[in-house]
Amino acid sequence: MLKVYGVEFIFGVPGDTGTALYEALFDEKESIKHVLARQERSAGFMADVYARLTGKTGICEAPSGGGATYILPAVAEANDSSIPLIAITTDVAENEKNKNTITDLDQYSIFKPITKWNTVISSANGIPAVIRKAFRLANSGRPGAINLSIPKNVLEEEVKEEEIASEIYREKTPDEKLKFENEIKEFIHLIKNAEFPVIVAGGGVLISGAENELLEFIEYSGIPVATTITGKGSVSEIHPLSLGVIGGNGGRDYANEIVKNSDLVIFIGCKTGSVATLNWSLVSKNARVIQIDIDPNVIGKNYKNTLGITTNAKSFLRELTVFYRNNFRKKEWINDPITKRILEYREQWLTSFDRKFRKKIHPFQIIKEMQKLLPDDSIIIVDPGTATPYIAGCYIQKKPGRKIIFPRAHGGLGYALPSAIAAKLAFPDLPVFSLIGDGSIGFCLGELETALRLNAPAVFIVFNNGCFSWIKTLQFLYHNEKYFSVDFHPLDYSKIASAFGIKSMKIKQPSEIETALIQVVNTNNPFLLDFTIDELPFDIPPVHFWKEINKMKNSE
Ligand SMILES: Cc1ncc(C[n+]2csc(CCOP(=O)(O)OP(=O)(O)O)c2C)c(N)n1
Ligand SMILES: [Mg+2]
């Protein structure tokens, strides 16, 4: 069934209950590549990033019990980030259930809250229909994660060859069948009555592939657009109408202020979560809100909307732009004082980081050199921790599209290293960089072997600051500098990488950053750069509430 669905990769780890699956994968190895990860969470993250970058369904697999529990973080991240992912978890045989068989666990129940659909397949005859349903549901409406638990005895049954078939499934959302006449009229009525409307684009814009439609709409209407971290790439960040990332993690102060001062905020494909909205303080009390989302559960969840439209962002924006073209003149926004001000604010924001640094490497110095040296089509994957706010706020994504990936639903550590391997498998010709905290790398070091075995020439950039600095900064700001259980023994990750047989370099001086990056930009092998970063909290990253608290502390 996976083969007829054109699955290219299945990421996983073997176990006692999955050996029949492995025999089948052996037989089909010319069509489906099984990617052996060193633990199931990494396999799940690989499937997640594969889906984020290709728009296809990510497939991962894990054995019963321990294997199934280890894949949970990735299933949760994909599901809550609206990423189509199918996890296949094999299970003990049905006649071995409930008798203390090793690895027996109620797998159905543990996956229930973190999946869009979840089932135990009790007969091999049911597999074709279940797999068709899994692909359909993973990709329909708001995409999400599916778990299919398959007991060992079911895997060993036969299915008739003629039952093995995929289907062509096309989802016509109601709005594609009907015209949006009324919605467009209501939308335009609100815009006409607003002094300063702004758009906030979330990950939904990228998921629906609406970048071109968004661009055409803003260019015609002259409405500026901010993005959430997950929506970064919805619009080119060098476009004069781009405000950049908003919110609490890497959000630009001026962009947050512009949204706060807007009297009409238009959320498109955005869950209006805590980080994007500065704990829901981003929209002024008097402002009106329009929300466009594929999922009616998301609409109106956090704001009192004036207008909510459940639809696919792409189809709505396309028709909206046609209506604008037919009925209005293009807004001359190029010479608009507001456009000029946006450009000035942007310049000021970026130059504010470029100050005199201390002797040790500052994270911004790495970002600045990356900006200079990385090709525009590079894929960048970012772990939680210090790298996130700097990439979100200071790295300018010139070309639209999902190029920069942040796992922001749960921000689990240990994401960027394994995902970079999968990104490289999916796009062998594109440069792939992962920004990894030293906390994160502790979660997934074993995957360096995976990178080597597959010769996946991703670049692993370690922000080695010797601690969980995100948490240490919280202790600095909110807990009277009582640093507790956040510091690591100093480690040289370049030496660890070379022990794995991976090329590596240790970089201690700011003056060495450029040479190091030049060396890896066109690498044909996996390469790890271990940057010794000045330990925090010497400087507060662009995290909205932290900067406010720090200002207060400094003025005391
Ligand atoms: C699985 C998991 N456990 C705990 C956390 C909480 N957490 C958020 S950031 C952070 C520190 C990250 O440290 P590191 O990777 O070294 O990055 P740094 O903050 O030092 O840049 C921790 C522990 C998390 N996000 N994920
Ligand atoms: Mg760290």
Mean pLDDT of the chain, nearest integer: 96
Gap from CA of 52 to ligand 1 centroid (Å) = 22
Which helix (H) or strand (E) segment holds residue 119: the answer is strand 117-120
CA 254 to ligand 2 center in whole angstroms: 28
Q: Which of 470, 487, 539 is the best mutation target for the ligand 1 pocket, counting ligand atoms within 8 Å of the beta carbon and taking the most? A: 470
Q: What is the mean pLDDT of residues 476-491?
A: 96
Task: Show the tokens assigned to 447.
Answer: 């995957």
The model's pLDDT over 496-516, given as tens digits with 9 standing for 90+, comes to 999 999 999 999 999 999 999
Helix (H) or strand (E) holding 449: helix 447-453
Q: How many residues does the chain have?
A: 556
| CB-based contact 386:463 (threshold 8 Å) | yes
Write down the pLDDT at residue 177.
55
Q: Tell me the pairing of strands 404-405 and 432-437.
A: unpaired
The single-letter DSSP state of residue 511 is G
The answer to whether 442 and 390 have CB atoms below 8 angstroms apart is: no
Q: Is 469 in the pocket of ligand 1 (CB under 6 A)?
A: yes
Say how far apart CA 542 and CA 532 lie, in whole Å: 20
- Identify which of 381, 413, 471, 539 to mutate to test ligand 1's pocket (most ligand atoms within 8 A of the CB): 413
Cα 427 to middle of ligand 2, angstroms: 29
Distance from the Cα of residue 366 to its chain's centroid: 21
Could you tell which of 468, 469, 483, 535 is best to mutate to test the pocket of ligand 1, judged by most ligand atoms within 8 Å of the CB?
A: 468
**Mean pLDDT confidence for 417-421:** 98
Is the C-beta atom of 468 inside 6 A of ligand 1? yes
Report CA(77)–ligand 2 centroid distance (Å). 21
Minimum mean pLDDT range among 138-147, 162-171, 434-443, 446-455? 162-171
Q: Are 481 and 546 in contact (CB under 8 A)?
A: no
Q: Using omega within 30 degrees of 0 as the cis cutoff, is the peptide bond preceding 14 cis?
A: no
The CA distance from 70 to 92, in Å, is: 16
Percentage of the chain with pLDDT > 90? 94
**Which amino acid belongs to residue 42?**
S
Q: What is the mean pLDDT of residues 420-441?
A: 98
- Kindly report, residue by residue over 171-216, the tens digit of the pLDDT: 776 555 567 888 999 999 999 999 999 999 999 999 999 999 999 9
Rounded to two decimals, the pTM is 0.97
Contact of 464 with 438, CB cutoff 8 Å: yes
Arithmetic mean of pLDDT, 409-430: 98
301: Cβ contacts below 8 Å, ≥ 6 apart: 271, 272
Cα(382)–Cα(397) distance, rounded to whole angstroms?
Answer: 14
303: which DSSP letter?
A: S
CA of 25 to the centre of ligand 2 (A): 39
Overall average pLDDT of the 335-356 stretch? 93
Instruction: Find out whether 374 and 210 touch, Cβ atoms under 8 Å.
Output: no
Say if residue 98's pLDDT is above 80.
yes
Question: Which residue's alpha carbon is at the smallest distance from atom 25 of ligand 1?
Answer: 412
316 falls in which pLDDT band (50, 70, 90)?
A: very high
Q: What is the pLDDT of residue 175?
A: 54
Q: How confident is the model at residue 309 (pLDDT cuts 50, 70, 90)?
A: very high
pLDDT of amino acid 176: 57
* Predicted pLDDT of residue 536: 66
